[in-house]
């Protein structure tokens, strides 16, 4: 299988914590959509497999109108073989999801919505500089459910000042709304963001890692008790509602990255487009794809395998390590993993290796101890 990721680099306003590539000016939106079409055509020979997932990320893809979405879909279906059961996701902000917009999306090829709720409390949303309020969030979900069965929402925990009780209320609201998939992320302070600058100037409180860890424990306990499967560290889905796009990424499947700043992977090589809207547009007007390509070594691919698989319920397979990366790396993994088993940070279950409950919040550190660094 293969997927297509399309980056839509526009937002109404900048969230303080976001470090993704975007612009709050829609001036070049028409030209950029045309450039997306040109890139899709230029890349059609990169994919020989059936397209199983299409994902519109950003930015705020819900800023695209019906004509723009239709143009992108027409280009994809004319140049690629798309599965009739493909999962097609659009990220959306609640304030974009009017009744008219939801109806419009429901008659498009979109069959899954990923709604950026972040919190059901106005003070949190204001702190993050989100463009919607709590009332809009709830209304967007309720009306979307009339037209879409497959809906995911994003929630953020670890926000300074968010009590454990408030976090529980956020989760309870999500459960009351009967949303089949929830992605929940710890607030992180990325270099160069408005949030990082405000913390540096002491205009906002720093993130408390201990509080975030407690919020995560509450998240896992609450969601699993409600019947959700924690199939990846930050993702919880009811049976049949796992994100196929994200699952393909965690399992190392190939995907095209289209749009400014978009990343792609062909199974052995990774590439990423220029993070500049005008440079992206001008380059495609000349028939050139403005990307940088990295040829991944065996150890690069092994390290990515370790990092992604340890975050998931599928875990690490020794058989796969041997088949994909060879005996040398298999023996290295077994040697490095020994002490992590002894510390109770790794466990083996059904011939697959997983991070233990004790080590779950230490996943990045555990992965790094297993990385293979070439001399």
Are residues 340 and 213 both part of a single domain? Answer: no
Are residues 218 and 304 both part of a single domain? Answer: no
In this prediction, residue 375 carries a pLDDT of 60
What DSSP state is assigned to residue 23? B
pLDDT values of the chain reduced to their tens digit, one per residue, 375 residues:
699 999 999 988 888 888 788 788 888 999 999 999 999 999 999 888 999 999 999 989 999 999 999 999 999 999 999 999 999 999 999 999 999 999 999 999 999 999 999 999 999 999 999 999 999 999 999 999 999 999 999 999 999 989 999 999 999 999 999 999 999 999 998 888 888 889 889 898 998 899 999 999 999 999 999 999 999 999 999 999 999 999 999 999 999 999 999 999 998 899 999 999 999 999 999 999 999 999 999 999 999 999 999 999 999 999 999 999 999 999 999 999 999 999 999 999 888 999 998 888 888 899 999 999 876
pTM for the structure as a whole = 0.94
In this prediction, residue 73 carries a pLDDT of 98
CATH assignment of the domain containing 67? 3.80.30.20
In this prediction, residue 190 carries a pLDDT of 87
CATH assignment of the domain containing 341? 1.10.10.920
In this prediction, residue 22 carries a pLDDT of 78
Are residues 28 and 177 both part of a single domain? Answer: yes
Specify if 375 maps to a domain.
no
Beta carbons within 8 Å of 289's beta carbon, 6+ residues apart: 39, 42, 43, 273, 283
Specify if 288 maps to a domain.
no
Specify if 221 maps to a domain.
yes
Specify if 290 maps to a domain.
no
In this prediction, residue 19 carries a pLDDT of 77
Q: Which of 210, 233, 249 is the last residue of a domain?
A: 249
Are residues 111 and 196 both part of a single domain? Answer: yes
Residue 312 belongs to what domain range? Answer: 298-370
Are residues 239 and 323 both part of a single domain? Answer: no
Are residues 225 and 302 both part of a single domain? Answer: no
Residue 286 in contact with residue 263, Cβ under 8 Å? no
Phi, psi of 118 (to 5 degrees): 70, -45
Are residues 47 and 183 both part of a single domain? Answer: yes
Phi, psi of 175 (to 5 degrees): -70, -40
Beta carbons within 8 Å of 173's beta carbon, 6+ residues apart: 120, 138
Q: How many domains does the chain have?
A: 2
Beta carbons within 8 Å of 13's beta carbon, 6+ residues apart: 24, 129, 131
Are residues 194 and 108 both part of a single domain? Answer: yes
């Amino acid at each position: 299988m293969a997927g297509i990721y399309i980056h839509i680099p526009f937002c109404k306003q900048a969230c303080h914590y976001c470090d993704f590539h975007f612009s709050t000016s829609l001036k070049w939106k028409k030209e950029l959509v045309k450039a997306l079409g040109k890139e899709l055509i230029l890349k059609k020979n990169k994919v020989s497999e059936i397209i199983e997932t299409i994902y519109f990320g950003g930015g705020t893809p819900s800023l695209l109108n019906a004509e723009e979405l239709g143009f992108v879909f027409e280009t994809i279906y004319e140049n690629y073989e798309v599965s009739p059961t493909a999962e097609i996701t659009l990220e959306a902000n609640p304030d974009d999801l009017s009744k008219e917009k939801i109806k419009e999306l429901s008659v498009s090829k979109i069959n899954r919505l990923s709604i950026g709720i972040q919190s059901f409390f106005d003070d949190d949303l204001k702190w993050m500089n989100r463009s919607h309020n709590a009332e809009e969030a709830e209304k967007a979900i309720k009306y979307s459910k009339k037209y879409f069965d497959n809906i995911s929402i994003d929630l953020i925990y670890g926000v300074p000042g968010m009590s454990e009780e408030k976090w529980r209320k956020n989760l309870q609201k999500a459960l009351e709304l009967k949303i089949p998939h929830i992605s929940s992320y710890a607030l992180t302070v990325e270099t160069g963001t408005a949030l990082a600058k405000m913390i540096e100037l002491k205009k906002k409180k720093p993130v408390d890692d201990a509080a975030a860890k407690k919020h995560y424990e509450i998240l896992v306990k609450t969601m699993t008790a409600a019947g959700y499967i924690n199939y990846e560290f930050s993702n919880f889905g009811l049976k049949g509602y796992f994100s196929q796009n994200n699952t393909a990424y965690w399992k190392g499947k190939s995907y095209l990255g289209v749009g400014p700043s978009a990343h792609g992977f062909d199974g052995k090589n990774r590439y990423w487009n220029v993070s500049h809207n005008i440079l992206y547009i001008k380059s495609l007007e000349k028939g050139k794809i403005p990307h940088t390509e990295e040829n991944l070594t065996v150890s690069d691919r092994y390290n990515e395998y370790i990092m992604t698989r340890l975050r998931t319920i599928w875990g690490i397979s020794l058989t796969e390590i041997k088949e994909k990366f060879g005996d040398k790396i298999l023996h290295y993994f077994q040697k490095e993993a020994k002490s992590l088993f002894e510390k109770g940070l790794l466990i083996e279950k059904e011939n697959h290796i997983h991070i233990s409950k004790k080590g779950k919040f230490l996943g990045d550190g555990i992965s790094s101890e297993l990385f293979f660094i070439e001399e």
